[in-house]
Structure 1
Amino acid sequence: MSCDNLCVVLVEPKGAGNIGSVARVMKNFGFGELRLVQPRASHLGAEARNMAVSAIDLLERARVYENLALALSDRNLALGTTRRFGKYREELLYPAEAATTVAGLAKTAKAAIVFGPEDTGLKTEDLDLCQYCVTIPTHSDLPSMNLAQAVAVCLYEASLKFSSPAEDKTRGKRPALGKNLEAMFAQMRQVLLEVGFLNPQNPEHLIRAFRRMLARQGLTEHEVQILRGLWDKISWLHRGKGTP
């Protein structure tokens, strides 16, 4: 895994200066791909450019997406950041642990680290699209960090790990792309509703549990196809067609 294969995703950033500062931090540590999801400020205006200093090229190359799912569709691994704890925000990694996880991916794998809006952070629905949650331990008097500062902490740890050879824990196997994982989870949700396993009033409760169990295993494309075949078979049998 290298710096070229890790992108930074900002979801609905509200401050142009913050976007520019993030671009500068990225270039400080050797990262070059910035993605923006429905930005609430211009990343090409004077304020962003002034804060980016010598990283204006990152702003000019930044891609803008309609939603987070699209921004992560070509990623093999996504890490979402949060300062909040509680339900659906469990087993959090510190930045150094997250960096170790990313560095252990196959060399050709692609990852993303996702940051939420400055005022609210990532929603639970956003974290559903990420295989891991990352948190930065801070003092309780002021736990929330400035966006660019948070990005700096995470990228600093990643740059340390990427600068030294890391063991490929996947043995060269790349995890499935985000878009294919999401298609599998959507199919699973539909089938489990169909057979009555999920509560139609709150299906996401168990779906999130399945996400935690499966997504973190680093499922390959082949394994995702096996699971999709399983959901197809369950649906086929449930509709009363019997065993083929």
Structure 2
Amino acid sequence: MWEISMFSVVFVEPENPGNVGAVARSMKNFAFRELILVNPKCDPLSKEAKALAMHAKDILESARIRKDLSFLSEFDLVIGSTGILADKYSTERSTVSPKQLKSILKNSKGKKAILIGRESTGLSNDELSLCDIVVHIPTSRGYPVMNASHALTVILYEISDLEEGEEKLASPEMKQRLCKEFSELVDKLDFMKPEQVKAMFKRVIGRSAIRIKEASALIGFMVKVKDRL
């Protein structure tokens, strides 16, 4: 499990003090501590901001203010968010869901920044191009864009890893064993393009959040099938 202390929330040009307070409150709900405000267009210490923050006023008071995003070089991984789905030609808006993000981050290390954009227009394409990963939350097509603080709450919930009794994920070594067993099984079967099938399976397993029990069951199944061929 990663350290929550390695995450910073970056709110780019917030326009509404109430949203700044709501962001701070959401952060405290999930034990995230560092808030960075980039060129804020409102007073983050106003009465409205503090009222919405409730018991997270300390996060507001300790928030760092930056003029631009040049400081992102301090981070090993930058995660952006967008309410607009990518079209097939867009590289800036190629997105993952919050659940997929959690899987990607499982074994990651280093400092991470989570960027949320201004309430009116979100993050620009130029800002998204600075991100290593862009998150999109699936919502109703009739009204797809979420409030910045609400979107952050969903993201923080998914990655906080506070769920009790969660099953452990299969290690990279176990995934390699699973791919090896599958490869040997394919070699015994009459596939027209065996190497392509192996490569596809390897890609699927590589990006999956497969659990130890699931991987073990699949390995056992493949071994038995091979023995019967």
TM-score, structure 1 length as denominator?
0.64
CA distance in 1, matches of 2:35, 2:169: 24
Contact 1:69 1:129 in 2 (8 A): no
Structural mapping, 1:31-70, within 5 Å: 31-70=32-71
What runs of 5+ residues in structure 2 fail to find an aligned partner? 173-229
Contact 1:3 1:162 in 2 (8 A): no
What is the letter of the counterpart of residue 29 of structure 1? F
Partner of 1:81: 81
Give every structure 1 segment of 4 or more consecutive aligned residues whose post-TM-superposition deviation is greater than 3 Å: 161-169
What is the letter of the counterpart of residue 80 of structure 1? G
Aligned residues: 166
Partner SS, residue 61 of structure 2: helix
What is the letter of the counterpart of residue 93 of structure 1? V
Matching of residue 7 in structure 1 with residue 30 in structure 2: no
Deviation at 1:32, TM superposition (A): 0.5
Deviation at 1:60, TM superposition (A): 0.6
Deviation at 1:147, TM superposition (A): 1.1
Partner of 2:94: 91
Structure with the greater alpha carbon radius of gyration:
2
Partner SS, residue 118 of structure 1: coil
Contact 2:35 2:60 in 1 (8 A): yes
CA distance in 1, matches of 2:103, 2:65: 28
Partner SS, residue 57 of structure 1: helix
CA distance in 2, matches of 1:141, 1:11: 26
CA distance in 2, matches of 1:76, 1:167: 24
Aligned Cα RMSD in Å?
2.0
CA distance in 1, matches of 2:141, 2:32: 30
Partner of 1:239: none
Partner of 2:204: none
What is the letter of the counterpart of residue 55 of structure 1? A
What runs of 5+ residues in structure 1 fail to find an aligned partner? 170-244
Aligned-residue identity in percent? 37
CA distance in 1, matches of 2:27, 2:128: 22
Deviation at 1:160, TM superposition (A): 2.2
Cα 1:126–1:115 change in 2 (3 A) is same
Structural mapping, 1:116-127, within 5 Å: 116-127=117-128
Contact 1:105 1:168 in 2 (8 A): no
TM-score, structure 2 length as denominator?
0.68
Partner SS, residue 144 of structure 2: coil
